Amino acid sequence: MDLLQRFALGEIDAFETLVDQFQGEIYAWTVRIVRDPGTAEDLTVETLWRIYRARQRFRPDGNFGAWARRIATNLAIDHLRLKPREESLTTEPAGVPQPDRLLQRETADKIRQAFRRLPAKLQVAATLALIEEQPYEEIADALGTSAGAVKLRVFRAVRILRKRLKQAGIGPE
């Protein structure tokens, strides 16, 4: 019997093989969205648990990787909705910065804060499209929508961000 069929029937050995094959891919996708390794690991474990729980809904002739990625994306969106918006997700280098470096860092902080205040779905689309430069089709597949809808979300994210940066007095150098 095929691996995916065995998984759909609830065989734990088949699931272990799938975890071994796909955990890296799920983690890589999740960490691109949430941008924090610890959170991404937790969300990957939760994704894999949900995959196992939903195994009966999986069609063995379907694409396991795409299905897993969609579950991971939904979990990442939920996480972004729930976490405090002002939380900084990136690690800053240690040490005393120079004045111009300080200004750059301050600008980057403000941009990150403005970005983190976007609605979660817009954040995810903009992160994957603009920061990670993932193909629109792939993002659409993970979000369960069309490439056109993803482009629209990115457009809306950019428009809101531009407005907020202008209000904060931040412009191009």
Partner 1 sequence: MTEYDDRQIGDALKRSFPPVHTELERDLWPEVLRKLDDRTVRVSFRVPWYDWALVGLSTAMFLAFPRLILVFVYHL
Only one of the segments 59-67, 74-82, 125-133, 135-143 lies at the binding site for partner 1 (rule: CB under 8 A); that segment is 125-133
Q: Going residue by residue from 51 to 90, which x/- string records binding to partner 1, judged by CB under 8 A?
A: -xx------------------------------------x
Q: Which is nearer to partner 1, 111 or 147 (CB)?
A: 111
- What one-character DSSP code corresponds to residue 61? T
Q: Residue 95 and residue 110: Cα distance in Å, rounded?
A: 20
Residue in 9, 37, 63, 78 binding partner 1, rule: CB under 8 A = 37
102 binds partner 1 (CB under 8 A): no
Residue in 3, 19, 149, 152 binding partner 1, rule: CB under 8 A = 19
- CA dihedral sign, ordered 110, 113, 115, 119: negative
Q: How far is the CB of 173 from partner 1 (least distance, A)?
A: 9
Residues 139 and 104: beta-carbon distance below 8 Å: no
| SS3 annotation, 71-86 | HHHHHHHHHHHHCCCC
Residue in 9, 28, 54, 102 binding partner 1, rule: CB under 8 A = 28
Only one of the segments 1-9, 41-49, 68-76, 138-146 lies at the binding site for partner 1 (rule: CB under 8 A); that segment is 41-49
| Alpha-helical runs (H) found in the chain | 3-8, 12-34, 37-53, 64-82, 99-116, 120-126, 136-143, 147-167
Q: Residue 7 and residue 56: Cα distance in Å, rounded?
A: 9
Q: Nearest-5° angle of CA 138, CA 141, CA 147?
A: 75
Binding footprint of partner 1 on the chain (CB under 8 A):
16, 19-20, 23-24, 27-28, 31-32, 35, 37, 41, 44-46, 48-49, 52-53, 90, 107-109, 111-112, 115, 126-127, 130-131, 158, 161-162, 165-166, 169, 171-172
